Amino acid sequence: MSASLLQRSLAAVWHPCTQMKHHETLPPVPIVGGEGAWLVTEDGQRLLDGISSWWVNLFGHCNPRINAALREQLDRLEHAMLAGFTHPPVVELSERLGALTDGALGHAFYASDGASATEIALKMSVHAWRNQGLPQKNRFLCLEGGYHGETVGALAVTDVALFRDAYAPLVRQADTVPSPDARRAVAGESAADVARRAAGALAARLEAEGEYVAAFILEPLVQGAAGMAMHDPEYLRLARALCDRYRVHLICDEIAVGCGRTGTFFAHEQAGIRPDLLCLSKGISGGYLPLSVVLCREEIFRAFYDDDTRRGFLHSHSYTGNPLACRAALATLDIFAEDDVLAANRGRAALLGRLLAETFSAHAAVRHPRQRGMIAAFEVADAPPDFSRRFFAAAREAGALLRPIGNTVYFMPPYVMGEAELRALFAAAAHALARVLG
């Protein structure tokens, strides 16, 4: 029975990103099945997954093709350690990811979650400079409002007070530079103008302390956890040039914006640049299994290549390159290739934009409606303090999973949503907004 599963869950399971006491009024939703863009609750309600289950599920729940690939892999090899061993899925995945960067980032290091990918990229950057005789390069720069995960190392470059303040004594905080968030435009300024202004501040910071900076980390095009803050690709071009000039690694955290989310396979492609280090996770396994990967340039890889173990990259993780997770990622990349998903998503994104405009742009409480590829978002003016939870509850009643960040309502649907489903998702959102504001 639903009540008993719920009671057992509340007693034994500590949920992430949650004040557990809030579950007294808004209990977690027991999910027992999934099919395409839908989740099925224990009492038989079908919920449209409007945020791809925290941005991970790209091709629907229980996708038949990914399921088949995993079954096949399961009967061959479930896991083998990657220190001293290798196996077909990890080799194939590394080659294919490198090829997706046109060979620019041809070396892949694996972990299981996004925060670990961030930490690996930070460690790799500092250690590469140290191996090159520049040990003073050990500081990081990040963007205001940037989010790169919540382990103690990743919190150093995560500028979200709520997640960081309680743990501040544990964290070696990086310096933040102004966000190129296009919402910051003053009268007459374009998004590209905001980008140039923010890049000016980055230039000043690098001029002052560039010799001590190892890396600059950012989420290209869309700062997700900051509330889907979007910026012009011009910022990435200018940041790339500045990083080259001051010998600073550019780390693109594409954990949320990679895998086609912004319209191109990698978000940084829209600026015509390549980072030095690239972090992927979330959608890379289709939302099936925990997997993350850091791709790096040849020069960085070379900086570690030596007879001395201490000059090697020192990061050990038991499940590195897990064959099942790599197979899920390969099946995900197969779907991109076989179905020409990026092309199909252009039509889907156009509909997303139309629905955003039709349903919300003229709404009196809606501010900054915006879109980049398969992400649409807006702010709600004068939202009540518990807006996010109330909106979530009202959307659930209307048959949709939507979970605003503060007063930012956003849509990040899986790439299998059809027109009728997208329309139903926006209808549920409109119902929820009316319910919460009314």
Binding site for ligand PLP (CB under 6 A): 113-115, 118, 147-149, 219, 224-225, 253, 255-256, 281-282
Rounded CA gap, 314 and 337, in Å?
Answer: 35
Establish how many alpha carbons lie within 13 A of residue 271's alpha carbon, considering only the half-sphere containing its beta carbon: 23
Judged by CB, which is closer to ligand PLP: 291, or 432? 291
CB of 224: closest distance to ligand PLP in angstroms?
5
Closest distance of CB 259 from ligand PLP, Å: 12
Residue number, 66 or 279, with CB nearest to ligand PLP: 279
Q: How far is CA 97 from CA 101, 108, 141, 260, in A?
A: 7, 8, 26, 13
* Closer residue to ligand PLP in complex, CB, 114/275: 114
Q: How far apart are CA 378 and CA 172, in angstroms?
A: 33
223 contacts: CB under 8 Å, gap ≥ 6:
143, 145, 146, 147, 179, 181, 229, 230, 231
Tell me whether residue 270 or residue 359 sits nearer to ligand PLP (CB atom). 270
Among residues 7, 18, 48, the alpha carbon closest in space to that of 397 is found at: 48
> Rounded to the nearest whole angstrom, what is the least distance from the CB of residue 158 to ligand PLP in the complex?
8
Residue among 115 and 250 whose Cβ is closer to ligand PLP: 115
Give min distance, CB of 207 to ligand PLP, in A.
Answer: 27
Least distance to ligand PLP, CB of residue 151, Å: 7
**Tokens read off for 15:** 């949920």
Q: C-beta of 391: minimal distance to ligand PLP in Å?
A: 20
Alpha-carbon distance of 20 to 291, in angstroms, equals 27
CB-nearer residue toward ligand PLP: 147 or 313: 147
Phi, psi at 58, each rounded to 5°: -90, -35
- CA count, 13 A, side-chain hemisphere, 415: 26
Q: 148 or 240: whose CB is closer to ligand PLP?
A: 148
Q: Which CB atom, from 210 or from 227, has the smaller least distance to ligand PLP?
A: 227
Q: To the nearest whole angstrom, how small is the minimum distance from the Cβ of residue 180 to ligand PLP?
A: 16
Nearest by Cα to 5 from 30, 26, 27, 24: 30
Location of structure tokens 């006491």:
21
C-alpha angle 437/223/90, rounded to 5°? 125
Q: What are phi and psi of 176, to 5 degrees?
A: -100, 150
Measured CA to CA, the distance from residue 406 to residue 401 in angstroms comes to 16
Shortest distance, CB of residue 264 to ligand PLP, whole angstroms? 17
Residue nearest to ligand PLP (CB): 114
Q: Minimal CA–CA distance to 328: which of 143, 93, 141?
A: 93
